[in-house]
């Protein structure tokens, strides 16, 4: 998502935003998922990025793309009966971030940051792949949505809420025994993205590093050159993240792009990632802690509760979190598996909790866009939970520790 920083297929699923192909042939099941005969699946947790959307801001001074309402048409097969509530089941909280999108209109008549038909289909397709994995192949979930089995949480933004709905539609093929509750929280207490507004220290650290990123020699040189080639006035505030966001949105929906960007595409992608790496700076523990420490703590805590049998939701099998690219990137950095590529639309990080059938020891298996990952510090793809918890302890933050850190100033 590119929420608070000025950041930010299916015509042929173009360029880097296309969702990665995932094998679905059952004969290749063990090849893809490894030998699971020794392990029993206990809990699945998935952080996934929303689908393709309208841009957050158009590149200034260049030809406008027509973002017409027809691009947002909802496919009938992505519909489910759902309700959005706060974390305790009450009314949906106010959504100031969404309100800020609705306050402006793109050329063509739609608002910035809105999930498109292409994006809806991407999340439906992801749900369909999860269905193959967890309903058809391992028979882990019941084939009809059951709120006692499946928990759905989203940031309080329409594109992530709609993405969650589309994923659930694909996962259960619209079969539901009950209404689908999608829970969210107010902006000031959101921890599913780096919250610059409510975490004072993170706002200072990130703002400082954002300004620095624009002055990095390679970024500064390339940006000035590209800005000149695009004919963007020198006084316009523009950066590679904004350019990339608009460029990819256009490509994804088959809308015209300035020809010069076709030759600059690789550079735009790389410089945008370079900026994000500088802003998040994986070498700075505190910065990543404040970005995703709460998310990691929640995920690990859910697994520990499942192992101990102390969860109030004893039948819970799947936790779905509908988030943003600015959630996935720092998570990937904290996990030590960031591939220096911008997470595509509908990208997902999956954490599976397994229990060894003989020793009863819990293990964690992490995958990104359908590919199993060896986490640095873990002894194998199946990582003992105690090892995984130790690795995550570098960045994981309890609610109390997070609040204490956020309230600090840079002088503390």
Over residues 219-271, the pLDDT tens digits come to: 999 999 999 999 999 899 999 999 999 999 999 999 999 999 999 999 999 99
- pLDDT on residue 313: 83
Which residues, other chains included, contact 400 with Cβ-Cβ below 8 Å and sequence gap of 6+?
A: none
- pLDDT on residue 20: 44
Does position 407 have pLDDT exceeding 70, yes or no?
yes
Mean pLDDT of all residues in 58-66:
93
Asked which of 30-34, 209-213, 325-329, 350-354 is least confident by mean pLDDT, the reply is: 30-34
What's the chain's average pLDDT?
A: 91
Does position 373 have pLDDT exceeding 60, yes or no?
yes
Does position 394 have pLDDT exceeding 80, yes or no?
yes
- pLDDT on residue 207: 87
Alpha carbon 185 to its chain centroid, in Å, reads 17
- pLDDT on residue 390: 98
Mean pLDDT of all residues in 87-104:
96
- pLDDT on residue 257: 94
Q: State the pTM of this model.
A: 0.91
Q: Using CA atoms, how far apart are residues 347 and 345, in angstroms rounded to an integer?
A: 6
Burial class (CB in 10 A: 0-12, 13-18, 19+), 279: buried
- pLDDT on residue 36: 66
Q: Using CA atoms, how far apart are residues 223 and 230, in angstroms rounded to an integer?
A: 10
Considering the chain, what percentage of its residues have pLDDT values greater than 70? 91
Cα R_g (the chain), whole angstroms: 21
Asked which of 12-16, 37-41, 373-377 is least confident by mean pLDDT, the reply is: 12-16
Instruction: State the virtual CA torsion across 401, 404, 405, 409 in degrees, nearest 10.
Output: -170
Considering the chain, what percentage of its residues have pLDDT values greater than 90? 85
Annotated catalytic sites, by residue?
Answer: 50, 325
Look at the domain 1-17+39-96+128-179+191-412 and name its fold. Rossmann fold (3.40.50)
């Amino acid at each position: 998502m590119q929420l608070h920083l000025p950041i930010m297929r299916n015509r042929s699923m173009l360029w880097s935003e296309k969702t990665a192909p995932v094998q679905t042939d059952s004969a290749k099941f063990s090849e893809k998922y490894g030998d699971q005969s020794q392990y029993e699946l206990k809990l699945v947790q998935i952080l996934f990025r929303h689908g393709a959307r309208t841009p957050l801001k158009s590149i200034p001074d260049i030809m406008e793309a027509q973002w017409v309402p027809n691009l947002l048409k909802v496919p009938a097969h992505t519909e489910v009966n759902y309700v959005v509530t706060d974390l305790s089941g009450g009314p949906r909280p106010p959504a100031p971030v969404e309100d800020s999108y609705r306050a402006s209109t793109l050329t063509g008549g739609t608002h910035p940051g809105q999930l498109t038909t292409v994006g809806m289909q991407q999340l439906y397709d992801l749900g369909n792949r999860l269905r193959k994995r967890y309903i058809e192949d391992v028979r882990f979930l019941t084939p009809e949505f059951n709120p006692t089995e499946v928990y759905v949480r989203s940031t309080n933004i329409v594109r992530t809420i709609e993405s969650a709905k589309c994923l659930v539609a694909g996962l259960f093929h619209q079969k539901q025994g009950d209404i689908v509750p999608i829970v969210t929280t107010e902006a000031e207490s959101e921890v599913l993205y780096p919250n610059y507004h409510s975490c004072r220290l993170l706002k200072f650290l990130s703002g400082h590093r954002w300004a620095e990123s624009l002055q990095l020699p390679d970024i500064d040189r390339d940006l000035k050159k590209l800005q000149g080639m695009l004919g963007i006035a020198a006084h316009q505030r523009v950066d590679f993240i904004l350019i990339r966001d608009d460029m990819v949105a256009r490509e994804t929906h088959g809308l015209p792009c300035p020809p010069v960007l076709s030759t600059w595409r690789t550079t735009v992608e790389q410089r945008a990632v370079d900026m994000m790496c500088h802003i998040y700076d994986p070498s700075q523990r505190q910065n990543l802690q404040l970005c995703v420490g709460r998310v990691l703590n929640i995920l690990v805590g859910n697994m520990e509760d499942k192992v101990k049998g102390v969860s109030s939701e004893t039948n819970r099998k799947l936790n779905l979190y509908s988030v943003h690219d600015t959630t996935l990137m720092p998570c990937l950095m904290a996990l030590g598996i960031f591939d220096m590529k911008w997470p595509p639309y509908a990208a997902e990080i999956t954490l599976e909790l397994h229990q060894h059938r003989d020793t009863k020891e819990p293990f964690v298996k992490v995958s990104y866009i359908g590919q199993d990952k060896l986490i640095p510090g873990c002894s194998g793809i199946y990582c003992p939970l105690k090892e995984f918890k130790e690795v995550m302890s570098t960045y994981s933050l309890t609610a109390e520790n997070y609040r204490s850190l956020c309230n600090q100033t840079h002088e503390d």
